[in-house]
A and B are shown apart, each in its own frame.
Chain A
Amino acid sequence: MSHTGRKWAATIPGLLLFAILALYLRNADLASPPRLLPRCSFHVLTGWHCPGCGNTRATHALLHGDLIGALRQNAILVIGLPFLLFWAFRSWMQWVYPQRIRALPFRWRQSYTYTIVAVVVLFGVLRNIPLAPFTYLAPRALPVKEIPESEVP
């Protein structure tokens, strides 16, 4: 098999896996515990919201076409997702068709990476402030049945 063929053959199972995970998440019931979905270990351990908290709920909302609901869960994911997908596609193109890729009209600088990291960290700090404008950055709790404290081993 050719080089390109082999890379395509590796891509298809990856895409299938993504599709299965998306379908699973779309049909998941977020409100009934125990949820068979990953939870943020940072939130479980500290009680604070990390910059990624609400990503699962935001993706769930997006998969149901609810853009506002997704923004309310994790704004930075929803805003960043188109860029992330574009970058993923470009990286894949570079891998499979390295001679066909054209250079972007700008050069990526180290400072851009630092800016993104700074924005994400700032977002993580701001969404933990329990005051009016910042509370919109925090993920909204879904009506999950609470497990009594005494029964947590």
Chain B
Amino acid sequence: MEWYYAKNGQQQGPVSEGSLQELFQNGTIQGGDLVWNESLTDWVPLSSIPGFGNSSEPAYTPPVSGIPAAPASVAGGVVVSSAIPSGQPSPPTYLWQSIVCVLLCCWPLAIPAIVFGTKIKPAMEAGDYGSALEASNKAKMWCLISFIVGFILQAVIFGIAFVSGFAEAAQSAQ
């Protein structure tokens, strides 16, 4: 299992479970520090991982306190803060799924998926995790729409071709 951990607001890793244990034991990372691996949907404090729980640790610290908050950006007079460590891995871009949809499904509906997909990296680079996640979810949604609509359209086209094919066969048999 490969682990990532957040130290001073920076994502570190990947490291093996053994290395993570070592880092924990030598005090490089503490129970309140956030860690993540592929099986987790979100970053969690290290103390919540079995094997790292430590009763001598101070009381459970809320996830974000161990990390400096992501830089707040001012957009249109409104202070926007994602409140998520800047070391958060980028949300999926769904790029290959979008390209498969463009090639094989209903391509006009897969274009928005690619457009939203390309917005994720710039948003992450600007430290705006919220926008990146939103774009990621929209990319996923358009991939699904393209897939479903494409599938239905193909089914309808097949259906018409078959019905007319049978009609023709029946007519020529007469």
What are the residues of chain B within 8 A of A147 when measuring CB–CB?
A: 161, 164-165, 168
Q: How many A-B residue pairs have CB under 8 A?
A: 57
Q: Is the CB of B2 within 8 A of A3?
A: yes
User: Please, how many residues of chain A have a CB less than 8 angstroms from a CB on the other chain?
Assistant: 26
Q: Is the CB of A153 within 8 A of B2?
A: no
What are the residues of chain B within 8 A of A39 when measuring CB–CB?
A: 154, 157, 161
A84-95 near B? 1/0 per residue, CB < 8 Å: 100010010000
CB neighbors of A among B60-104 (8 A): 95-96, 99, 102-104
What are the residues of chain A within 8 A of B122 when measuring CB–CB?
A: 110
Q: Is the CB of A41 within 8 A of B153?
A: yes
Q: Give the distance in Å from the alpha carbon of A117 to the alpha carbon of B164 in the complex.
A: 37
A41 and B164 in contact, given A88-B96, A110-B118, A110-B122 (Cβ under 8 angstroms): no
Distance (Å) between the CB of A127 and the closest chain B CB? 15
A151 and B167 in contact, given A34-B162, A38-B154, A41-B153 (Cβ under 8 angstroms): yes
Chain B at the A interface: SS class: helix
CB neighbors of A among B97-134 (8 A): 99, 102-104, 106-108, 114, 118, 122
Q: Give the distance in Å from the alpha carbon of A148 to the alpha carbon of B165 in the complex.
A: 10
**Interchain CB contact (< 8 A) of B108 among A42, A110, A113:** A42
CB neighbors of A among B147-174 (8 A): 150, 153-154, 157-158, 160-165, 167-168, 171
Q: Is the CB of B165 within 8 A of A34?
A: yes
B59 within 8 A of A: no
B1 within 8 A of A: yes
Q: Is the CB of B103 within 8 A of A52?
A: yes
What are the residues of chain B within 8 A of A52 when measuring CB–CB?
A: 102-103, 107
A73 within 8 A of B: no
What are the residues of chain B within 8 A of A51 when measuring CB–CB?
A: 107
A33 and B165 in contact, given A38-B154, A41-B154, A110-B122 (Cβ under 8 angstroms): yes
What are the residues of chain A within 8 A of B114 when measuring CB–CB?
A: 113, 117
A110-144 near B? 1/0 per residue, CB < 8 Å: 10010001000000000000000000000000000
**Interchain CB contact (< 8 A) of A153 among B153, B160, B168, B171:** B160
Q: Give the distance in Å from the alpha carbon of A88 to the alpha carbon of B100 in the complex.
A: 11
**Interchain CB contact (< 8 A) of A44 among B14, B108, B157, B164:** B157
A51-65 near B? 1/0 per residue, CB < 8 Å: 110010000000000
Query: CB-nearest residue of chain A relative to B151?
Result: A38
Q: Give the distance in Å from the alpha carbon of A153 to the alpha carbon of B14 in the complex.
A: 59
Query: CB-nearest residue of chain A relative to B162?
Result: A34
What are the residues of chain A within 8 A of B165 when measuring CB–CB?
A: 33-34, 147
Q: Give the distance in Å from the alpha carbon of A103 to the alpha carbon of B148 in the complex.
A: 36
Query: CB-nearest residue of chain B relative to A35?
Result: B161
Q: Give the distance in Å from the alpha carbon of A61 to the alpha carbon of B161 in the complex.
A: 23
Q: Is the CB of B118 within 8 A of A41?
A: no
A152 within 8 A of B: yes
**A interface, CB within 8 angstroms of B:** 3, 33-36, 38-39, 41-42, 44, 50-52, 55, 84, 88, 91, 98, 110, 113, 117, 147-148, 151-153
